[in-house]
Amino acid sequence: MEIFNATLMRVLLAVGVSILLFMSFVPYIANVVPFFDVFSHFRLQMFFAALFFTLSAIFVNIRVLFVIALLALVSNTAPLAFKFQNTKDIDKGPEIFQVAALNIKWDRDNCNRVRNYISSLKAELIGVIEVTPECRNDLKSLTDIYPYMWFAEPSTQVIDVKLHGMGILSRIPWQKVGQLQSPLISRRYAVVAEFETSAGSIAVLVSHLVRPVPPYPGDWRLSQGAEVRDLNDYIRNFPGEVIVMGDLNATPYGLTFRQLRAVGLRAASGSGEATWPIALGPLGLPIDHILVTDGLGASMSLGSDIGSDHRPVLGKIIRKARAGP
């Protein structure tokens, strides 16, 4: 029996390590097979799984399993590298404004708690996501603090999910405000407001990219990929700096972020903390972000629990000091 148990343990370890190695490496071919990008969002969880398998391989003294588990461990260090880099790279320069992005959660009938939280913030710009019509009415009572408000018309793609939308609240007037439509499905994925500031023209996009996985409207990243390409087209054509903030339904370790970096967006310093689901704490996924283009700098922190399944993200936006004399 003891020999049988030892053999079973080795078989289970071999199967587990093999599956983990597959999940660790297939995201690198997500450009060819977008479905594989789903695994990239779980780099942190796979890191801890690989650490477990590495220690287990040492315990049972199987060198091949140890080498394979170590490969998986090394391939999943992206969360640690990202967090280290974003802690190290802190921009300096004059502050332009403070921002916040809140995913309120689509099933709320009452947003008094959210309204009170927003009123306690110093942010000049607030992005709100998954706003029901009831919550929109509650937030309109903040017009004495945020006289400029704009909400996209609420919609839903799932029969048992309430109508919800997104919006922007601002203390400062914008030049133009509108929304960006998802290319493949009937939904709005961003509200965009354009401002004239001391740093020149700045576009602020409150974005909620479609989830990459089913059930509908998730479709293994096809629609999310189309939204990212449309967003990138807007950024390329805008004659100024850009801020993207909100629930991007993507971690910093996958294809979506690589595509966003290709148009000059980069994550605020302090990024990388888990924001969803709030119940998992630090073992959750960092899918709520603040990103800026090269002429701006940003720092980010997490806000308090507002009764949603997401943590709010709070940011300070600065004009980067120019290099040279």
Q: What is the mean pLDDT of each run of 10 residues along the chain (325 residues)?
A: 66 92 94 91 96 92 92 94 71 87 93 95 97 94 97 77 90 97 94 93 97 87 94 97 98 95 95 95 96 94 96 94 53
What per-residue confidence (pLDDT) applies to 113?
95
What per-residue confidence (pLDDT) applies to 325?
46
Q: Return d(Cα 262, Cα 258) in angstroms, integer.
A: 6
What per-residue confidence (pLDDT) applies to 324?
47
Give the H/E segment covering residue 241. strand 241-247
Residue 281, phi-psi category: left (phi > 0), alpha (psi -120 to 50), beta (remainder): left
Closest CA to 40 of 259, 295, 204, 325: 259
What per-residue confidence (pLDDT) applies to 6?
67
Q: Return d(Cα 185, Cα 190) in angstroms, integer.
A: 14
Which residues make beta-bridge pairs with 99? 125, 315
pTM for the model: 0.93
Question: 315 and 96 in contact (C-beta within 8 Å)?
Answer: no
